[in-house]
Structure formats: structure tokens, C-alpha cells
Structure 1
């Protein structure tokens, strides 16, 4: 299990070698070891190519940091961008970097000097991504930077040479190689290497942006090929990183693998996973809403990342949470424990505004940790099980990639399904590989418009064998490439139609999908119209189907969670906690229930905001509805029951009823997280 924090280097570290910096590094490592940290990840010197003039000195610093970690049994990962490089040329651009990306430790060269920079025998400027429209190097305003193209063979050779030098100079325990995606979005990349590679893979030339029959037209298979080409390029590039680093533990960055925004950047951890050891999900910005809810923005993304980790056999999934106070660090850790993820906790002072002595004096990452890392270390046996899920939500990558323009066309329906089941304390998995479907009793299909023939076959077999499927929206109307399907997935007198909305005036093809109107789905069952707020149901083989045309299920009656609960097998339940979130995990002869208090109110700072969008940071969390007693009911007889929490000095044993079907606990008040371990006489099936 990974218990991680960031190890920040700022401008003072560049005065290397320096005894004061050596003392600071030793003090940090001592504090990390004392707090139960077993892994730290570098932050700073992020746009690594900007440090070419002082690279050997930087590597000497990193080598000392790595050695100090090893002396204390802590793994040290380097973390840098493989492709981005700051290129500020005006005062306004430099001020933007200072305000919003100061944490990069932006040691960038002047543009006229950058034009002369070479590495591994070639000019860095010749590596740059090219705008498909203008034919010029792309400038990315978000970071005031340019990007090198992953398909450029000279860039690849240069980056591979750098990695070999890095590993020679620094005794690393792992590498996080970031940003090898299309950061500029759909504008990238029009360089000759990308055009030639696209032609070689698909036998097509990339049309000019004026060709509206191609660009953003998902009914044109040629544009689908362009989408798939870009995903293949990011995956292949990360695969070359694996070839260079060998057995060194490897991961990359990701803030989502389930949004239609992924298509613009060709980012999905499914592509990285075959070459990685760990996955990670960066929870960007302020991760909790004013009402205390964290699920709406985070849950569906986290569940997809966990699905990728499980399906591909990765060694762990790091949930990365930002915070500036002990409460947010504790909540980030507790969310990860609830979901079954490992933890990376980090500050982000370089994006705080206003800057100055007060921001600089905030505690370092390891100083914000409470006792929960050490508690987790002492109780790792509680967190080694798999999710005890009888239900799954299917994530349709074909739909994400090949259908629709709007967030409402797929991601929002998937998000709603995950959140509704989770808030009803129904333990479920997200599944994207149909080979896993048969292990579940209940299948939720949210807006899975695109299906391959193999997926249709598996879903049909699942129903014929007695499974229950709850289907939302246009299921299987298109094939895996977004083209009209020859055969509809659900027959039985059901007819579904989809209507694309008219585009808004002034629409740009790269318009933010979160701002576009969604599709409208309509249906008839046995020749009668089906209302958006209702479900119809019918038998399918030995199984049963519920279907609604709704693309927003928040007003449906009955609720999705009620339908799932009604067909779920009887299971263990936790009683006596009001508005606590619960997930269940299983081993051969035990079950673990993890519960998190959702009765939380954030207090937002009146002084500090966090770029880019400048939301106020959270400075405090206030909890209510503390837990003081819990009752567990189980269909299987219990032989032992214990309750654990980092807020208890020792575990509490439950009082088991004579029939073994109930365990009752009474304990001192618990504010945030509790874990119940149940042991059974009979092994699980």
C-alpha cells in the first residue's frame, strides 16, 4: 500500500550544494518517516527540458534527496513533464506563470536562446507540435508553453537519452512521466510525422480544417480513425518510456479517463496501463462542494480509474488530493480508504494567490498529516480485500470516443448512475471489459449508445442466463465505431430514437463539451410512448430488463438505486449511522465494511484562492452526526466482529447475538472514518 506525499523543491534548492538545504531535506525525510509515509513524489523542476543548462546540478540534488529517502526506507519517485516547455516572451506571460504555475519552479529560457538549444544532436524547436490549422508551432495559454510531439522520432530519441542519463545519475525508486498526450487539444498535431503516421496506419491524408465533412463529424469513419490514431500515439509513446526504464516502477498523470474531454487530448489510463505499474487520479482544484459533497465531481472518475487498475492488474491506484490544512488531508485519505485506493496527499502553494510570506509559511505536506498513515500501516490487513460487489456499472469507451458532442450525451448519465448507487450504500464496481460482466448479478448500462458485436453477445448471454439489466438511454443503437448498428441490442417491442440538438450560433468544433446541449432520447414500448421519468420492464430470456429514455435520471421514479436494491441478493447491512457512506470488501472468510462520515461542512478561506479558476481554498471542515454505536446484520452467522478507527485507541469488539446474525458496537465518538471486520465460520462462495 502506498502512503505518499509530495516532496517540493523551490528556488532555494537551486543553490546547490548547500548545507542548509541538506539539513532541510534530512528534516523532511525524518518527519515523513515518523508520519508513516512510505513514498514521496517530486514536485518542482517540472518542465524538465527548461533545466538543460543546469541539468547535472539538478540531478546531483535529486540524487541526494533519493539517498536520504533510502536511508529511512522511503521510496522516491521523480515526477516531470516529458513534453512541455515554458516559452514566455512577454511580461504578461511571465506574470501568468508566476501567478498560476510557480510550483513548476519555472526556470525557462528566453525564446531567442531556446531557438539555439540542442539535445542529443537535434534542435528542441524542431520537436514542437504544429497547429493543424495554421501550420505553426502551438502555444498553450494555460501553461504559457509549447509542446514537443510524441511522434517526432528526434524528440523520442532525445527523451529516451535523457531518461537514461537520469537513471544513471539518480538512484530513483520510480518515475512519473507526465503529459505525453495532446495538451493543445484538437489543434494537435499537424506535424509531418503525425500526418505520415496517420497515413501509414489508416491509409488516409489529414484534411484541412475547412473540411467539415471530416472534422468533428463522428458519422465519418475517417474522423473516428483520427480519434483512434491519437489515442494509439499516446499509448505507444508511453510504451517506449517503459522500454527505456525497464523494471523501474512507472506511472503517468491523469485527472480523468471517462470524460469526452479525453478525446481532445487522447488521454485515458487504459492506454497507459499496459506499460505502467501504478495508476493515479489527480483530483484537481477544490475537491468538495459548498454543501460538503465530494462525489459529484470525483466519484465516477475514481471508480473508472479503479476499474482500470483492477482489470489490468496494476499494483495500486493513487488517489491524489490537494489541500492546505489537516482536515482536507484527512478527508483525502479517508476517501481513498473508502474506495480502496492508495493515497497521495499534496499542497500546491505555487498556485495560491495572493503570494507572499503568509502563503510561504503554511505547513509542508508531511506536517499536515495526522496519525492515520501510521494507523493504516498498523492495520493493512483490513484493506487487502476486493470490493464485495454484486452490481456493476458498465463504462462504454466506444461511446465516450465515438458518439456525441456533449458531456450530457454520455459522461453525465454515467456519473449520475455511479453517484446514485454510491449514496444508497450499494457496493458496485465499474466495468469496461465485458469479460468481467458474468461475475455480477445486476448490470447498469448508462447511455451505452455504441456497442461492438462482442459486447452485444455478452450482454445478451448475461440476460439469457438470468441477470438483471437496468438500461438508461440509447443502448446499442450504434456499433463500436459510432455508425448505425445492423441489429438493435434490445428488441422485445422496444423502439428507441435519438435526436441531436441544433448547434448554438457561433459554434466552434472544439467547443467545451460541458457547455453544449445534449442529445434527446425517445422510446416506444409495444407501440406506446415511454415518458422520460418512467421505467418500463420486460423479460429477456431468464433475465429481466428495466429501461428509461431519460438522459437525466434525477427525476425518475422509482429511483435507480431502488431498482438495483430490489434485485440484489441479501447482504450485510450497517445500521445506526445517518448519512455515512459505506462500501463492503471481502476475503475468503471475512468481510470488511468501511464507512465515511458525509455530514461535513467546509469553511472557505476569505483570503486565499487557487488558480486556475481562482476558487477559495478550504481552511476547515466541520463534521456532525458522529458515530457512537453501530449494528451490523448479516445473512451469514458471525464468529467475530471488530470495529477499528484511527480515532480509537484500540479496536472495539462487537456483541454478537445468539443466532450470529447481528453484531452491536458501542464506542467513543468517531468523527470521520470507521472500519468493521466481520469473520465467518463458513468461507464465502
Structure 2
């Protein structure tokens, strides 16, 4: 959902789901009648195994469905499937992802229709060697509360393919004997069913064994009915928010795992100032609240484990638009903790409106999630980009190339109140760019290695414990600031995350300096690993604070930075935080850091990223000064104009660079771009007197993206 980012920023409501029980659990809520037994797979001792990667998609696209597709197997529907499968093949798409029938349990009465349709889609796609991934939200049902909410749902979320129970039928809606109303989260404030106002949905509780039993039974039916190649089970989080879940299963889990009771909602020592927006609730100074956050995420991770135990060796993915900021705690979204049980990883990165050209702000999230997938056995990382018109699709395609990940392109016409009269089919939007790629530059992203000059330390303990500095800035704010600086100066970087920071041997595998900016929450294991690294001639740039708290958020008597500086002061460069300065420029001006690539001529707003692909040198150019051309009439649901075309603010596109490397695999490269079709410039790299390679490129006919390979 494109609005997922907006939800994270603007949600004002409450509730949350937690947990999963062990092998045998009473199925009914304790105060309700006689109990029956439900047996679920015991995931409490489930360990992470290598990811299941039977194939690696390169060019992914959404397979949109509409409500008329429920009329399958009518001839017109079957014929449409055949035509679209052929068009997907012509567009060089290698994996199609179902889009629609999204809030899956809305359609419990129609699973036979939907599964028959999807099986037919698989049959036609498989003729062309195209993989098929189902994609659905597992834990929601649409339940607009009134006519205003009903109309809002039909305005904003047509892409779900809306078909849900009216208020009378909703009281009887069920699947496999489980009434939906009995599976929902409980709002701690008033005992009502948990409601996600952003999507007009009620949410099933991740800790309710009846819901989990229903989900397992549905998954088994889906796998039996449809020969899917992969599956994306969405919303392994809680869009209802922090004021839930108050059901007996959640209360029991908090008591069982942490020895705690969920306090009443009028306890400000736990809930904080609840007059504020929901995302700002909670007192992180209270260790019980921090444990509550952990417990909620524990339950969702257990749900992911359960799903993986059912789907087996079929690749599993879940939606995720963000991994860094504290506010994710309020919706229990934590990809890093789910990662050991996932096989593919996705990032929703680009929307449809004119603000989408501001891609630099998304670079941190993209590379953060790329590192999550890299550390998970180099699993496929898939960037999902939404668009209405071709240029938006090209922007998403280009960003995926720049980041070195798989592109998932998706039109999003149904996110508008009505389809544009000139709306294009998904396969038509991406056809040109995919075919150019296959003909000119069919790179294997799994064999690509970014040129890394610094390692940016991202420690999730800071997020987990809600740490902020005296100005209210969090660790992730500093990391985003660093990302912007590194893009600006064309410095290759990667993230180094929590587990790697605790592994001294892993730290020593690379000689690039560590950037430690606002790493306030540090475990003893991480500190010892860092000491081992520094003792082996490692280098670090440090901006205070460091190690003021431990991994559980408890304040240390003395910051670890005191001892670290005393022991390894010569190996550590003290810097100012990137949040309010440019420490990278300061280090360069002092001669303490020299980037591999330096621009010596032309407009500096072309960002450059170097990568070795299967031993071959590549350099990707991405415009940071794009000029969106808005559609004259069409706006999104927030009132922002849709991108119709993209121009550039850059006028001096004759660029010169120096690369400080001892050698390159090739000194004659080709400059190319889909924007110049099959035209290529031959670029010769010549060594100057200082030993650096010098070269010039002319991007005068290019507005968005180019490649040197």
C-alpha cells in the first residue's frame, strides 16, 4: 500500500495484537463457554535455516485483478488471463505478483472462485516460465464504522478489490467455524474490537490461537488449490496501534513471558501522554513499557514462523516500507526480527505523486533493507515502485538499478478515486524499460557488490528502547542525515547492523572505518567486539553519545565511550553529528578521508554509485535534481498532483571524474541509458600523473538515469 508510509506518519489511533501460543491452547476466550483444544505447530523452538531461494526474480510486476475476475471461469476472464500472460512475457517480466483480493478473509465465501482464477493464471504464466506470487493481507477485515468511513474506504482503497460484509452479515461472518468478530483485537480503552481507521479495518489478534488456526487452514487450502511459486503474507504488524490488545491471550503472554500485567489505560507512567497522537504514546523511561513493545513484536515474529512452517520451501515475503525509526514500535513492525524466517525482502519505496522524485531521502531505507537481505544468505531484495504513467515506472526501474536490487513495478490506478481515462496496463508501462535492460544490460543483482568506503552503524537497540537525544532526535535521524551526505559526496557505503556489531571477526573482515553516530544503546558483547576490532588496527568515527545505555535501555553509570576513548583514542576520530553538520566534508578538508571517486567538472547533482557485478566494473548515475511534470488535473487522495513526466533542473551535464584505484578490470567502458535508446558512448579511462583514472561523460540527453559498464 502506498499509504503505508503516510499511516506510519499520521496514524492517530490505538490497539495492538500480540503473540502466539504453544502446541496446545484453549481455543475460546476464557470467559466464554466450554473450551475446545486447538493444536498448532510449536514454533517456540523453531530456528532459522538458510533461505529458500529456488529462483531469483529480476523484473517483477503486479498482476492486477478486479471484481469481475470473480466471474471465472467465464470465457472472457480466461481469455483475458491468456492475453495478459502473453503480454507479461513480451514485457520480459519474470515474476507476477497478485494484486487485489487483498484483505483475504473478506472473500471467505469466494475462495473457490479466487483460487480457481489464480490457478488458471499460474497455468498461463508458467507456459512462459514466469513465476507467480500470491500476495494478501492475513489479519484484517474491512469494517467501516459509518457512512463517512464507508465512502472513505471506497475512495481510497479501491485497489483492494472491495467486497466485504455489511454490518448485519458481519456478525455471522466466519471461516472454518471461526467467527471473525471473536478473533479481533480488543481495545484496552473500552473493550471494543480494535479498529485501524487509516484503512477502515478491524484486525485479528496475532496472539489468538483461533485466528492462527484459521490462517493455517486457509494456507493449506491455498497451497493445495494453487501452484504458487512464492507467497507474500502481508501485514505482519499491527495497524491498530498501541492501545491493544487487551484480550486474554495477550494478557496471558505478557504475564507468561515477562511476568507483567498490562496496566490500565489511565496509567500515564506506562502509556505516557495519550492526548498526543498514538505514535507518540508510551513512556520509554518505564522498563515495563519497553518490555510491552518487545512482547508485541515477539508474537508477530511467532506468526511469521508459523506461516513459514506451513509454506515450507516456498519463498516467503512480507510487506515493509520502513525499518529504522522508533515510531515503528507503535505498529509492531520489525523486519530485522522477522528476517530469519523470510526468504525474499521488499521495500515499498516510490509513490505516484510529484514528491516521488525526492529519492535521496529513501536511500537509507533502501540500503538498510538491502543489508538485511544480504545478511540473510544474499536473499533477493525487491524494491516496489508505484506509478500511473510510464515515467513513474521508469523512475522506479532506475532506482532499483541504482540500488542494485530487483525491480517490482506496479501501476496504482485504483489508488485514485477513479481510473484515468488514459490509464495504462502494467505490462505496457514497464515493457520499454525491461526490454532495454534485457538487450543492453541484463545484470545479475545477486552478483553485484557495492563499492564500500565506510560502514554506517545502525544499532536497533536504540530504536527498541525509544532512545532520543536532548533535542528529541533519534539514532535513525542521524543515519538518514549520514545517508544524504554520503550520496551528496558519492561515497560508497553500507549499513552495519546490530548482530554484525556484536561479531568481532565480522568487523575485522573489512578495513573501512565504522561511523558511530548516536549509538547510545550498546550491549557489552557489542562493546567487546568493537574493542577487538579497534585493537586490530580498525578505525572508527564517533559522534557522541555512545554506550550511555545497555541493550535493554537501562542507563549505564558511566558511558562506554569514556573507556573506549581511553583505550583506543588514537584509532577513533571524534566528529560532530551529521544531524546538524557535515562531518564528512570536515574530514575531507582535513585530509583524514579521501573518497575513491571525485567529481572535477559539471553539475554535482548527479549521484554516482560504483558496483562490481560478477567481476565487472559498473557505475550508475542517478539525478538528484529531477523536475516533476505534474498531470494538469489528476491528483492523489492527498491532493498532490500525479507525475506525468520528469524533466531535470540540471543544465551542465558534461561531467568529469577521477577514480583513485590501483587498477580496473577494463579501461574502456560504454555509457548508456534507456533515455537514449540503443545509443552508446565509448568512455576511455586514462591515468593521470597522480595515478588516478580520469574520464568525462556527457549526460546532456539524459534526465534520470545512466549506466557506465
Q: Normalization by structure 2: what TM-score? A: 0.82
Q: Could you tell which deviates more after superposition, 344-353 or 430-439? A: 430-439
Q: Deviations over 1:204-248 (max 9, x none)?
A: 111112222223222222211111111111111011000001111
Q: Would the aligned equivalents of 1:252 and 1:279 in 2 still touch at CA under 8 Å? A: yes
Q: Deviations over 1:456-500 (max 9, x none)?
A: 223333334333333334221111111111442222798xxxxxx
Aligned to 2:324: 258
Is 1:27–2:83 an aligned residue pair? Answer: yes
Q: Would the aligned equivalents of 2:66 and 2:161 in 1 still touch at CA under 8 Å? A: yes
Q: Could you tell which deviates more after superposition, 661-670 or 234-243? A: 661-670
Aligned to 1:617: 642
Q: Would the aligned equivalents of 1:471 and 1:545 in 2 still touch at CA under 8 Å? A: yes
Q: Could you tell which deviates more after superposition, 571-580 or 143-152? A: 571-580
Question: What is the SS of the residue equivalent to 2:121?
Answer: helix
Give 1:603 deviation, angstroms: 1.8
Distance verdict in 2 for CA 1:293–1:571, change over 3 Å:
same
Q: Would the aligned equivalents of 2:133 and 2:230 in 1 still touch at CA under 8 Å? A: yes
Give 1:574 deviation, angstroms: 5.9
Q: Deviations over 1:77-109 (max 9, x none)?
A: 111000010013532222111100111111001
Q: Deviations over 1:619-659 (max 9, x none)?
A: 11113447566555343234623224233526544334378
Aligned to 1:141: 197
Question: What is the SS of the residue equivalent to 1:491?
Answer: helix
Is 1:412–2:477 an aligned residue pair? Answer: yes
Aligned to 2:37: none
Give 1:73 deviation, angstroms: 1.4
Q: Deviations over 1:554-595 (max 9, x none)?
A: xx2x54344268444663556555221111223675432222
Q: Which has the higher contact order (CA 8 A, sep 6+)?
A: 2
For 2:270 and 2:646, how far apart are their aligned partners in 1?
50
Aligned to 1:534: none
Q: Would the aligned equivalents of 2:237 and 2:333 in 1 still touch at CA under 8 Å? A: yes
Q: Would the aligned equivalents of 2:360 and 2:624 in 1 still touch at CA under 8 Å? A: no
Structure 2: runs of 5+ lacking an equivalent: 1-56, 272-281
Q: Would the aligned equivalents of 2:72 and 2:78 in 1 still touch at CA under 8 Å? A: no
Distance verdict in 2 for CA 1:437–1:311, change over 3 Å:
same
Aligned to 1:451: 522
For 1:539 and 1:419, how far apart are their aligned partners in 2?
32
Of residues 616, 619, 625, the one that matches 1:599 is: 625
* Structure 1 segment 102-121 matched on structure 2, within 5 A: 102-121=158-177
Aligned to 1:238: 304
Of residues 141, 155, 161, the one that matches 2:211 is: 155
For 2:342 and 2:123, how far apart are their aligned partners in 1?
24
Of residues 369, 391, 407, the one that matches 2:430 is: 369
For 1:201 and 1:437, how far apart are their aligned partners in 2?
33
Give 1:131 deviation, angstroms: 0.9
* Structure 1 segment 474-493 matched on structure 2, within 5 A: 474-491=545-562
Aligned to 1:424: 489
Q: Could you tell which deviates more after superposition, 614-623 or 380-389? A: 380-389
Q: Would the aligned equivalents of 1:89 and 1:110 in 2 still touch at CA under 8 Å? A: no
Of residues 567, 571, 579, the one that matches 1:552 is: 579
Q: Would the aligned equivalents of 1:607 and 1:616 in 2 still touch at CA under 8 Å? A: yes
Is 1:676–2:708 an aligned residue pair? Answer: yes
* Structure 1 segment 390-405 matched on structure 2, within 5 A: 390-404=453-467
For 1:452 and 1:431, how far apart are their aligned partners in 2?
15
For 1:468 and 1:203, how far apart are their aligned partners in 2?
42
Aligned to 2:388: 324
Q: Deviations over 1:20-39 (max 9, x none)?
A: 22232222222221122111
For 1:658 and 1:552, how far apart are their aligned partners in 2?
37
Question: What is the SS of the residue equivalent to 1:475?
Answer: strand
Distance verdict in 2 for CA 1:286–1:392, change over 3 Å:
farther
Question: What is the SS of the residue equivalent to 2:514?
Answer: strand
For 1:167 and 1:365, how far apart are their aligned partners in 2?
26
Give 1:395 deviation, angstroms: 0.9
Aligned to 1:462: 533
* Structure 1 segment 14-53 matched on structure 2, within 5 A: 14-53=70-109
Q: Would the aligned equivalents of 1:403 and 1:450 in 2 still touch at CA under 8 Å? A: no
Q: Deviations over 1:378-432 (max 9, x none)?
A: 4334742211202011112111110346973332222111111111110000111
Distance verdict in 2 for CA 1:67–1:669, change over 3 Å:
farther
Give 1:134 deviation, angstroms: 1.5
Question: What is the SS of the residue equivalent to 1:380?
Answer: coil
Q: Would the aligned equivalents of 1:442 and 1:568 in 2 still touch at CA under 8 Å? A: no
Give 1:7 deviation, angstroms: 0.9
For 1:51 and 1:150, how far apart are their aligned partners in 2?
20
Distance verdict in 2 for CA 1:148–1:570, change over 3 Å:
closer
Question: What is the SS of the residue equivalent to 2:266?
Answer: coil
Of residues 286, 295, 301, the one that matches 1:220 is: 286
Question: What is the SS of the residue equivalent to 1:622?
Answer: strand
Q: Could you tell which deviates more after superposition, 444-453 or 599-608? A: 599-608
Q: Would the aligned equivalents of 1:638 and 1:661 in 2 still touch at CA under 8 Å? A: no
Q: Deviations over 1:282-332 (max 9, x none)?
A: 126447638x53212x12211211121112224211111111111111111
For 1:200 and 1:539, how far apart are their aligned partners in 2?
42
For 1:669 and 1:547, how far apart are their aligned partners in 2?
38
Distance verdict in 2 for CA 1:621–1:544, change over 3 Å:
same
For 2:474 and 2:561, how far apart are their aligned partners in 1?
19
For 1:591 and 1:233, how far apart are their aligned partners in 2?
44
For 2:360 and 2:521, how far apart are their aligned partners in 1?
26
Distance verdict in 2 for CA 1:337–1:184, change over 3 Å:
same
Distance verdict in 2 for CA 1:316–1:593, change over 3 Å:
same
Q: Deviations over 1:111-148 (max 9, x none)?
A: 22122123223222111011122222112211111010
Q: Could you tell which deviates more after superposition, 643-652 or 117-126? A: 643-652
Of residues 374, 385, 391, the one that matches 1:310 is: 374
Q: Would the aligned equivalents of 1:309 and 1:316 in 2 still touch at CA under 8 Å? A: yes
Distance verdict in 2 for CA 1:315–1:118, change over 3 Å:
same
Distance verdict in 2 for CA 1:324–1:130, change over 3 Å:
same
Q: Would the aligned equivalents of 1:648 and 1:668 in 2 still touch at CA under 8 Å? A: no
Q: Could you tell which deviates more after superposition, 212-221 or 177-186? A: 212-221
* Structure 1 segment 168-207 matched on structure 2, within 5 A: 168-207=224-263
For 1:595 and 1:295, how far apart are their aligned partners in 2?
13
Q: Would the aligned equivalents of 1:421 and 1:561 in 2 still touch at CA under 8 Å? A: no
Aligned to 1:348: 412
